[in-house]
């Protein structure tokens, strides 16, 4: 049995419903030893967050390079 969890909602779902709930932003978990174990899933939102984090890191590196080059020019 799988569980779809989002905010304060928790639904028991079947395997064939899993992707539908992932697309709606739910996290999928299984019950193991009395604890919910979340599956590693990616939805569109997770992919977008990863893209933005990568872009942020690249822009910070570029900013540091520009700061260093400006200091070297005596500005």
**22-45 tens-digit pLDDT:** 888 898 999 899 898 888 766 667
Q: Does residue 60 share a domain with residue 27?
A: no
Give yes or no for residue 73 having a pLDDT over 80. no
The 3-state secondary structure of the chain, one letter per residue: CEEEEECCEEEEECHHHHHHHHHCCCEEEEEECCEEEECCCCCHHHHHHHHHHHHHHHHHHHHHHHHHHHHHCCC
Q: Does residue 52 share a domain with residue 30?
A: no
pLDDT at residue 41, as a whole number: 65
Q: Does residue 54 share a domain with residue 18?
A: no
pLDDT at residue 23, as a whole number: 86
Count of structural domains within the chain: 2
- The residue segments making up the domain with residue 31 are 1-41
Give yes or no for residue 75 having a pLDDT over 60. no
Grade residue 17 by pLDDT with cuts at 50, 70 and 90. very high
**48-57 tens-digit pLDDT:** 888 899 999 9
Q: Does residue 59 share a domain with residue 37?
A: no
Q: Does residue 69 share a domain with residue 46?
A: yes
């Amino acid at each position: 049995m799988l569980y779809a969890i989002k905010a304060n909602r928790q639904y028991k779902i079947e395997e064939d419903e899993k992707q539908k709930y992932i697309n709606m932003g739910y996290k999928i978990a299984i019950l193991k030893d009395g604890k919910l174990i979340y599956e590693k899933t990616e939805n569109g939102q997770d992919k977008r967050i990863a893209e933005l984090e990568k872009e942020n890191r690249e822009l910070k590196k570029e900013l540091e390079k520009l700061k260093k080059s400006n200091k070297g020019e005596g500005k």
